Structure 1
Amino acid sequence: MEAPSSSEGRWSRVASSLPVRNVQDLAACGEELKAETLQRYIRMDVQDGEVLVERSGEVPVIDLGRLLDLQFAEQEADRLRFACEDWGFFQLVNHGIPEEIITNVRSAIHKFFQLPLEVKNAYAQLPGDIQGYGQSFVVSENQTLDWADMFALSTQPPQARDMRYWPSQPHTFRKSIEEYSSELMKVSHSVVTWIAKTLNVDPKLMEDKYVSQFFRMNYYPPCMTMAEKVLGFSPHSDGSFITLLLEINSVEGLQIKKHNTWIPVKPNPQALIVNVGDYLEIMSNGKYKSIEHRVTINANKERITVSAFHVPPLGGVISPVRSTTEEKILYKTMGVEEYAKIYLSNKLDGKRALDHAKLL
């Protein structure tokens, strides 16, 4: 199948990443993991900010079933507003995705990462593309690297899919990804509709802000020798409207930055983790903020997740919406592609990309 020619398909070619060594393969080398081998992964900022393990249970939990129930909708909407304002993150339960579809996609992604390296490399990123198996945000030969491998796919709309990257192994992979992707579109519609209501914004203004979907499957190998000195994902906010994350296995690693401290997110196998992205921060004029987060590494266990980034069409525009005429506008009106290029063409560095959208 030819590469997609639609504007949605161009999403994957807004930026590219330099090729680097496969981390899963490196982690399997065992005796080779000397300090000099790990030098590009060791970082001095891992210990920046206290980690408050005791607060891991405080991350808000939102029940989609209650939002859709007239008896509880108003109360749950208040909880959703608090989650978006105060945390920028929440765990979504009773999301309605059939358990069979969740089980199947978890199994397919886990099996993919267990394939031999030469098989996975058949789906490696091509020059100028961020789809495929490899890395993201590697823009120089001397930057510190994250301890992770990624496999990225454009999944929605269907015409944006480049089937050259869609594996035939495991044999369940394509069907599982398609079914899960379709279910997530329903969930994102419900979530965004309720977010609009909590902002007193006409939901029609948001109905095109999450129509493009991009999957990034993440594999974080254990690092037995220096887990406390590497990161699976550098601190960053998401260049999305909203992100929905599914943990394939229940290994802790995600941490949210709140008041200059890091709060771990305790895995919940029944939940999707949802977070506010940069585009939603711009559109809400800063009422809902995208939050810095990072991924730490376990010394003994692998961590596997799949992030679904829901974004506006590449040819679209994102602009702040005021609740009153007196409200000060804090962000520029920007082309979606303009912001995407800024975000994807640089290494991850907290929320620095969003500085380009702020009015002085």
Structure 2
Amino acid sequence: MEAEAASGSAGESSWSKVGTSLPVTSVQALVASAGELTVDKIGRYIQPDIDAHAVLPELSDEVPVIDLSKLLSAESAEAEAAKLRFACAEWGFFQVVNHGIPDEVITGIKQDIQNFFQLPLKVKNEYAQRLGDLQGYGQVFVVSDDQKLEWGDRFALFIQPPQARDMSYWPSQPHTFRNCIEQYSSEVMKFTHSLAILIAKTLEVDPKLVADKLASQFLRMNYYPPCTSTPEKVLGLSPHSDGSFLTILLEVNSVQGLQIRRHGAWIPVKPHCDALLVNVGDLLEIMTNGKYKSIEHRVTINAHKERLSISAFQIPNYDGIISPILETAEEKILYKTMKVGEYLRLYFSNKLEGKSALDYAKLSEI
């Protein structure tokens, strides 16, 4: 594995240009050392507009569930494809069951993520983000010393293609972690490739136009400590859409926290123990000329339980181009044609703020 991913390659140098983030205190360490977490102690994490929109937990059961085995079966493919088309166009989020990733791969990555975040801070800091890089243990989207911070820690890696890897960030603890990351990444790539071909069919476009948008993968492992004092005033992730083509989320410990924005309200997503959660990214919205929607989402914090998850951001090659595919010559073009690297640099150069990056890519209001 390490031999095929030597540092200093062309792929790695391209991805290193994507962005950076300012160093901040580990939230996990803050929780462990601060004693009572008063508002004064965590003032920089208090989000002033957190209650601006209603939360509708009664709608959480309406999040679409797609059965991959039915999509691959001749008898049920048409009906399930209609559900997939509806999920991409109307929700932008859906859970996928019977996804085909082996149970032992899922179990292994879940266990090692939990074990990694329980390591002493000194050990985790051996893999800390370096100036000018998004990889490693630390934070993302911190671009100023006075912005509000998020209640969570991250560990991120560029995984695919192999030449994009910087092995100095790959942990040697837990001892199985590197192998688990490799296996999980490979399985998610295969799953996403299959899903992308099926999405292409719902769009009635050449599957190659979609499949080649999944050449790269950025893996981010997320740890959200509990906030015992004011959980209702902090966020693990601020409202945003993803700057990916597709994002694949695995809930590690089934603690609820993810909410998606729909019709001006927040809908909590109930973790499904046997499912992967998939969402449309900005780049897929651009490619479909707005037919499939990249939806704002956020992460709330539990008062008593930690939450862990792993996000696989599936993206085109850094040097690739993203442009709208039109159904007819008369269809109005809504988005610019852009270089993937240009869009990602824009996306990572700002704090998380709704769909601001996607707004930049629009030629006119949708």
Same fold by TM-score greater than 0.5: yes
2:253 matches 1:253: no
Q: How many residues align?
A: 360
1:312 aligns with 2:316: yes
Residues 1:329 and 2:333 are matched in the alignment: yes
Pairwise CA distance, 1:107: 0.3
- Number of the residue aligned with 2:104: 100
Counterpart for residue 18 of structure 2: 14
Equivalent residues of 1:123, 1:164 under 8 A apart: yes
Aligned 1:226-265 pairs, distance under 5 A:
226-265=230-269
Distance 1:108 1:197, change over 3 A: same
% identical aligned pairs? 64
Q: Secondary structure at the match of 1:205?
A: helix
Amino acid at match of 1:71: E
Structure 1: gaps spanning 5 or more residues: none
Find the residue that maps to 1:186 and give its secondary structure. helix
**Hey, what does 2:173 align to over in structure 1?**
169
Aligned-partner SS, 1:150: strand
Which residue among 158, 165, 177 is the counterpart of 2:162?
A: 158
Partner SS, residue 299 of structure 2: strand
Using the TM superposition, give the Cα deviation of residue 80 of structure 1 relative to its aligned residue in structure 2, in angstroms: 0.1
- Within 5 Å, which residues of 2 pair with 1:39-188? 39-188=43-192
8 Å Cα contact 2:288/2:326 also seen in 1: yes
> Residue 4 of structure 1: CA displacement?
3.8
Q: Could you list the runs of 4 or more consecutive aligned residues of structure 1 that deviate by over 6 angstroms after TM superposition?
A: none
Determine the C-alpha separation between the residues in 1 that align with 2:243 and 2:300. Answer: 20
Q: Which residue of 1 aligns with 2:281?
A: 277
CA contact (8 A) 1:3 1:163 kept: yes
TM-score normalised to structure 2 length: 0.97
Q: CA deviation at 1:85?
A: 0.6
1:216 is matched by which residue type in structure 2?
R
Range moving further from structure 2, 36-45 or 237-246: 36-45
One-letter code aligned to 2:251: E
Q: SS of the counterpart of 1:322?
A: coil
Please give the alpha-carbon distance, in whole angstroms, between the structure 1 residues aligned to 2:98 and 2:14.
34
Distance 2:174 2:248 in 1: 24
Distance 1:56 1:6 in 2: 44
The question of whether the paired residues in 2 share the 8 Å contact of 1:244 and 1:309 is answered with yes
Please tell me the root mean square deviation across aligned C-alpha atoms, in Å: 1.0
Structure 2 distance, partners of 1:10, 1:26, is 34
On the 8 A contact 1:131/1:165 being kept in 2, the answer is yes
Counterpart-to-counterpart distance in 1, 2:237 and 2:33: 21
Instruction: Give 1:87 deviation, angstroms.
Output: 0.2
**Distance of 2:288 and 2:171 partners within structure 1:** 38
1:259-291: per-residue Cα shift (whole Å, max 9, x none)?
110000001110000000000000000000100
Match of 1:190 in 2: 194
Residue of structure 1 aligned with 2:215, choices 191, 211, 216 = 211
Shift of 1:356: 1.1
In 2: Cα distance, 1:7 partner to 1:155 partner: 11
Which secondary structure state, in structure 2, belongs to the residue aligned with residue 280 of structure 1? helix
Corresponding residue for residue 297 of structure 1: 301
Deviation at 1:248, TM superposition (A): 0.5
SS in 1 for 2:35: helix
Q: Indicate conservation of the 8 Å contact 1:8/1:314, yes or no.
A: no
User: Which deviates more from structure 2 when the two are superposed, residues 204-213 or residues 247-256?
Assistant: 204-213
The DSSP-based 3-state class of the residue aligned with 1:267 is: coil
Deviation for aligned residue 1:34:
2.1
Task: Write the letter of the residue equivalent to 1:197.
Answer: K
Give the secondary-structure state (helix, strand or coil) at the position aligned to 1:232. Answer: strand
Conservation of the 8 A alpha-carbon contact between 1:12 and 1:154:
no
- Matched to 2:153, the amino acid is D
The AA in structure 1 aligned to 2:270 is K
For 1:309, give the aligned amino acid. F
- Please list every run of 5 or more consecutive structure 2 residues that lacks an aligned counterpart in the other structure: none
